[in-house]
Amino acid sequence: MTTNIVIEGKVMGQKRPVFKDWRLALPPVWERGGDRLRLRDLITRVVLEEVSAFQQRQAERRLAQIMNRAAIEAGAAKGKVDPGERDLVQVVQPEEAVAAALLAFEDGLYFVFIDGVQQIHLDSEIYLKAESKVSFIRLVALAGG
């Protein structure tokens, strides 16, 4: 059985989340408590999953989709009917994305909480269990501060 954790993203001062909560399957070695798991490892895994999902969404948008009446009406209700067929040519290098995320954490641009406990150091050991909630809280700089 695969163990999943819940990933959420928020911005301080905003009620709406940055993205809809999603689940991340833990590698079997993490589930068994093998290999010392550090915050750095978790952030790396989350970033790599997000880069992969971004690349998948980009590939899907390259093709024009045949839309049925329900899809058109749902899009109209949201204010945008989108059949795809775009080649945005946005290249994301996974290693660079991971490096940027780790640097942003070290620079204090976001906090990480695991099951409500703030994680402070990238190399500190962390413990995850089934349905642990990992929260990424982005901070907002004050203007004129």
Residue 27 lies in a domain: yes
- CA distances, 15 to each of 19, 58, 109, 115 (Å): 12, 28, 18, 19
For residues 25 and 131, the answer to whether their CB atoms sit within 8 Å is no
pLDDT (0 to 100) of residue 66: 77
Per-residue model confidence as pLDDT tens digits over 53-104: 988 888 777 766 777 888 888 888 988 887 766 666 788 899 999 999 999 9
Number of domains in the chain: 1
Nearest 5°: CA angle at 21, between 85 and 42?
100
Quick check: helix, strand or coil at residue 81? coil
Residue 145 lies in a domain: no
Range of the domain at 110: 4-138
Specify the pTM.
Answer: 0.77
For residues 128 and 135, the answer to whether their CB atoms sit within 8 Å is no
